[in-house]
């Protein structure tokens, strides 16, 4: 007996209206994040951007957000932008608007155990405050 399964495909997109595969049901979820070189400029708009994307998708359609600690072209980004993205994402998660948050750090966290421990502890403290 052959069992049919739907393949899950998660893609990173910047402009939802340019992605017909979402509307055709080929893409099952989106990773919606502000590209690292633009994070400092647009981080305060994450909630608004996700809400705009949500108007075009059913609530059951998975959306994940993310933030950069380190970007390969520009190095470390400010803590202000990163922690703001986490706070906004936690709020969006509590409102069932997103399903999770990605941390982008290149190979920095894998080579720096102490940095990873600091980051995890800060995130836990922040989430306790929300």
Instruction: Determine, yes or no, domain membership for 3.
Output: no
Q: Which domain holds residue 62?
A: 10-129
Residue 97 lies in a domain: yes
Tell me how far apart the alpha carbons of residues 126 and 123 are, in angstroms, rounded to a whole number: 5
Q: Is 94 left (phi over 0), alpha (psi -120 to 50) or beta?
A: alpha
Instruction: Estimate the share of the chain in helix, then strand, then coil, as percent rounded to the nearest 5.
Output: 50, 15, 35
CA distance 119 to 102: 13
Q: In this structure, is residue 1 part of a structural domain?
A: no
Does the predicted TM-score (pTM) go above 0.75?
no
> Is there a domain that residue 85 lies in?
yes
List 31's β-bridge partners, or say none: 12, 64
State how far the Cα of 82 lies from the Cα of 66, in Å rounded to an integer.
Answer: 9
Total structural domains within the chain: 1
- Say if 120 falls within a structural domain: yes
Chunked into runs of 10 residues, the chain (130 residues) has average pLDDT values of 52 56 74 81 90 83 86 79 90 93 72 67 74
Residue 2, domain member (yes or no)? no
Q: Is residue 4 part of a domain?
A: no
Q: What is the pLDDT, as a whole number, of residue 1?
A: 46
């Amino acid at each position: 007996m052959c069992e049919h399964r739907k393949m899950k495909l998660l893609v990173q997109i910047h402009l939802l209206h340019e992605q017909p595969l979402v509307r055709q049901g080929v893409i099952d979820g989106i990773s919606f994040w502000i590209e690292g070189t633009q994070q400092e400029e647009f981080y305060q708009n994450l909630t608004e951007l996700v809400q705009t994307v949500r108007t075009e998708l059913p609530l059951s359609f998975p959306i994940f957000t993310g933030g950069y600690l380190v970007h390969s072209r520009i190095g470390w980004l400010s803590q202000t932008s990163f922690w703001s993205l986490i706070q906004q994402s936690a709020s969006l998660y509590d409102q069932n608007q997103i399903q999770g948050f990605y941390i982008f750090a290149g190979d920095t966290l894998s080579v720096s155990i102490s940095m990873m421990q600091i980051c995890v502890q800060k995130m836990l403290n922040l989430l306790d405050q929300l």
